[in-house]
Structure 1
Amino acid sequence: MTTRRDFLKSLTAAAAMVGSAGAPKFSFAQEAGGKTFIKVFMRGGADGLHLFPLYGDDFYYTYRPDMAIERPSDSDGNTAIDLGPAAGGMRGMNPNLEPLMDIWDAGNMMIAPATSFNPNNRSHFDCQRWIGTGARNNLIDGYLNRYMQQDLTNDHPLRGVVAGKTSISTEIRGELRVPAVFNRESFDLRNGDFCMGDGCSDNQLTDLMREISSHDVDLPGAEGEFRDTQVVLLDTIAEVQAAGASYTPADGVTYTNSDLGRGLRLCAQLIKAGVPLEVAALDWNIGWDTHSDQIPGNNAMNRFTDQNFRYHRRMAEGARDFAAFYRDLGADMSNVVVLVGSEFGRTKKQNGSRGSDHGEGGSWFAFGGPTQQAIAPDVSTIDDSMIDRNWLPTVTNYRNIVGEIMVRHMGMSQQLISTIFPNHSFEDYSLFRGASS
């Protein structure tokens, strides 16, 4: 049920999409089949060395005597998963991420194991904001919003969305407002006084609002904009509801009810319904801030795979959600890139509480669209000869990954990367197929 506060926030968001003349410029018959970029944030500083262990480096085992995942082996499921020739015998995959191996083996996934924002001060709040804006500047719009501002030919109010939660992510916040949709079922306006059917199935409130808004009466500026905004809001609700009503998941596909599962399911609903969704912001939160108890303390046999341990279980659930989304979209996945990242990684050395502390370079990964099977620029060792002695440095700048997705997948001109990321010199890693434009 949408509350009055949610309603007013939705109106405010929609109002920002109204043109300067006061009239909405929205078309609800956009052609389907466009490109989509989904950014997923692991908030809390995910441990990149745990997601994709550096098993080919002996120092990994020196610094993590308890937490280092064993080298790949066929003996049990408690070892790192071999990523084959592309990883050069250095990087593996956490066994809880095993569902992602279908995507990796299909040649449609890349891993960037030492990625972050530089300079990084290892503060959750600062680094999340700076990554969201693309600069150490809290006063500018998020980079996904700046991307949308470069091309207004797609004027659909659902061209950008926050999916699976109700707060607006920094990446997508800005001049062009976007809705935050927890899930399709709750994205509605209801009032018991206007509900005639069981469970408000006959929602006469929105019918009445649409009837009032349809009257062709000249209104003063603010009142006219409010009426026009109301139409946009109602049409947005109608589109989300219609997308869910027409949605059929692929055989055997289910999603969890986590932030990530809800968000991916909503994106699948919109894309399958032909909504021209360009950018979406999602969260994957499992408790990534692992200062302690990153592995169970009472299970030596299955300390990396015990599904009774919340951290392992939720990591595995997230991997299954990603794999479900990939299967659900099928051929449509060629038009979608999903990029997953965190504000920073964690220390290469375990601490005294079976955990790891704030670091710098962490693991990001992407799949779908033109993504190639690849390992982005990485460290060759984590010994103490590194400049940053207790954590991985930023070898791969996340802005280059995002820029490459925007150019090679979304079709943006490479010249606009410096607009999306002010004062950034783009470096092309060739992690995605296609020519630069």
Structure 2
Amino acid sequence: MATRRDFMKSLASAAAVAGVAGAPQFSFAQDGSGRTKTFIKVFQRGGADGLHLFPLYNDPAYEAYRQDLWIRPPDGSMDGDRALSLGSAAAADRQSTGIRGMNPNLAALQDIWDSGNMMLAPSTSFEGSGRSHFDNQRWIGTGARNNVIDGYMNRFMKEVPRAQQHPLRGLVAGKTSISTEIRGEIKVPAIVQSGAYDISNRDLDNFDCGDGCDDFRMTSIMEEIASHDVDLSAAEGNIKDNQLVLLESIQDVAAAADAYSMDPNAPAYSNSSLGRGLKLCAQLVKHDLPLEMAAIDWNIGWDTHRDQIDIENTVNPFTDPNKRYNARMAEGARDLKMFWDDLGPELRGDVVVLVGSEFGRTKKQNGSVGTDHGIGGAWFAFGGPTRQVVADDVATIDDSAFTENYLPRITSYRDIIGEIMVRHMLMDPGLVSTVFPGHSFDDLGLFTRSMA
């Protein structure tokens, strides 16, 4: 049971965008089936090591530059940790010249890859990328290297308005703060989990609502206050609007959670921000609520400057669950697979999940058996019209190919998201340069798989 404090934190999170808020607008991207299309962006804050997640195991320089962090290639043996093979099924579609494998902690994703509905863009970043966590996260979220404060997800919702309105068109799931990519004019709630709206009598603390106080008495009072037309300043009016968005979404979130709780086959997601966020999205999608944009964080300590593995373990240093980094990576992969299974064949075509980080890491390990900030990193996606394909990649990380100690940007993250918005969310291609200001869209063909 979440507390009154949890509820207030969620309310305050939505109010944090009040300075840029205006009248709410909502929309639904639908295909001929009438179902809403959903885009979920999962952000690995901290700078995830793309070469660690998806090793270039056929490259001698990879082994030479990462003596301790080198994940051996798959060969069918069981003698310690080895990379998982992405198989030959995608060979005809593979655009890269390198051969990528998958970190053994991501084994839960193997079935998704084998289904033919997952893509990998192993050298992804954006034009003008730096190596500052703060700057890169902000620039990626806003969609341009500038000081604008609205995010690309919110800009999509503004530029592609629909007639129908709903407070759950956009959502931050699994945490209480508003992610940069979804902050802006269209108000969205930040919900830790569906239970964050359940306020019991004991959670009211010293809030005296008199005789007959029930679970939603506090909610009713807040809704009554927010519904009055009063003379407010612009800031107060915006806070009021944000409050109403949250209040209007409570009933639908609660109904979705109640229906979900009746499913005996519902998976047991972790209580991480990723697990909570994915579970909430599954509840809303399966309850046929019109969720279009969702932002989730997957935080495991991706900023691996030191001790990326336990070098004392010579058998399974990459999957030893006593290493928190290994355990949480495997937990996150299982959560993603649970979400895939939770949606089932009927709903997978309606949802695209994209996972990416603010930058990759150095191609060479440092003196502390870690890796430092880089540029190109590994982004991957599954669901919807996603093809089984590895996007353009380096053939080798050898210094003879490029002298910088990090992977270059080969794929622009804006092209990946632009294609999701066009191919999956049914946005006019001409709007890509508006959602991502000044960007010239390059359709990479990563999301053209027919779901018929």
Equivalent in the alignment of 2:81: 78
Q: Distance in 1 between matches of 2:83 and 2:229?
A: 67
Secondary structure of 1:139's aligned partner: coil
Go from structure 1 to structure 2 and tell me whether the alpha carbon gap of 1:409 and 1:415 turns closer, same or farther (over 3 Å shift).
same
**8 Å contact kept, 1:72–1:81:** yes
The one-letter amino acid of 2:62's match is: Y
More divergent stretch after superposition (119-128 vs 184-193): 184-193
Provide the residue aligned with 2:49 in structure 1: 47
Moved more, 297-306 or 234-243: 234-243
For 1:319, give the aligned amino acid: A
1:316 and 2:330 matched: yes
* Counterpart code for 2:280: L
- Deviation track 1:150-201 (CA, whole Å, cap 9, x = no partner) reads 1221431110011001111111111112111111111356634357899x86
Question: How does the TM-score come out when normalised to structure 1?
Answer: 0.90
Give the Cα–Cα distance (whole angstroms) in 2 for the partners of residues 351 and 218 of structure 1. Answer: 61
Give the alignment's Cα RMSD to 1 decimal.
2.8
1:176 counterpart (186, 203, 217): 186
1:34 Cα offset (Å): 0.7
Structure 2 contact 14–187 (Cα < 8 Å) conserved: no
64-73 or 10-19, larger mean C-alpha shift: 10-19
Q: Distance in 2 between matches of 1:79 and 1:371?
A: 27
1:124 has 2:137 as partner: no
Equivalent residue number for residue 175 of structure 2: 165
Q: Is 1:237 aligned to 2:239, yes or no?
A: no
Q: Kindly provide the amino acid, as one letter, of the partner of residue 249 in structure 2.
A: T
Please give the secondary structure, in 2, of the residue aligned with 1:247: helix
Whether 1:135 aligns to 2:149 is: no
Q: Could you say which residue in structure 1 is the equivalent of 2:440?
A: 425
Q: Calculate percent identity across the aligned residue pairs.
A: 58
Q: CA deviation at 1:99?
A: 0.6
Q: Does 2:366 match 1:351?
A: yes
1:270 to 272, 284, 289: 284
Superposition pairs for residues 16-165 of structure 1, below 5 Å? 19=23, 33-76=35-78, 78-85=81-88, 86=90, 90-153=99-162, 154-165=164-175
2:419 counterpart residue number: 404
**1:335-387, Cα deviation, whole Å (9 max, x unpaired):** 00000000111111111111111111010000000001000111111111233
Asked whether the equivalents of residues 49 and 361 of structure 2 are also in contact (C-alpha less than 8 Å), the reply is yes
Paired residues in the alignment total 427
What is the aligned partner in structure 2 of residue 303 from structure 1?
317
Deviates more, 1:81-90 or 1:353-362: 81-90
CA contact (8 A) 2:13 2:176 kept: no
Q: What are the Cα deviations for residues 23-63 of structure 1, in whole angstroms up to 9, with x where unaligned?
A: x77799x9972100000000111000000000011111111
Unpaired runs of 5+ residues, structure 2, are none
Distance 1:8 1:147, change over 3 A: same
Q: Which amino acid aligns with 2:84?
A: I
Partners of 2:52 and 2:103 within 8 A in 1: yes
Identify the match of residue 260 of structure 2 among 227, 234, 247: 247
CA distances 1:391-424 after superposition (whole Å, capped 9, x unpaired): 1100111111000000000000110011011121
Summarize deviations over 1:210-236 as a string: whole Å, max 9, x none: 45667xx76446698887765543222
User: Does residue 368 of structure 1 match 2:388?
Assistant: no
Distance of aligned partners of 1:389 and 1:70 in 2 relative to their CA distance in 1, 3 Å threshold: same
1:206 is aligned to 2:219: yes
Letter in 2 for 1:191: L
| Length-normalised TM-score, structure 2 | 0.87
Relative distance call for 1:196 and 1:268 in structure 2 (3 A) is farther
Q: Secondary structure at the match of 1:291?
A: coil
Higher mean C-alpha displacement, 84-93 vs 53-62:
84-93
User: Which whole-Å deviations, capped at 9, do the CAs of 1:81-108 have from their partners, x for residues lacking one?
Assistant: 1111226771101011011011000000
Structure 1, unpaired ranges of 5+: none
> Using a 3 Å threshold, how does the CA distance of structure 1 residues 226 and 133 change in structure 2: closer, same or farther?
closer
Match of 1:259? 273
Matched residue of 1:296: which SS? coil
Q: Do the aligned partners of residues 201 and 141 (structure 1) sit closer, same or farther apart at CA in structure 2, a change above 3 Å counting?
A: same
| Equivalent pair of 2:153/2:182 in contact (CA under 8 Å) | yes
Letter in 1 for 2:312: N
Looking at structure 2, the residues matched to 434 and 68 of structure 1 have their Cα atoms a distance apart, in angstroms, of 33
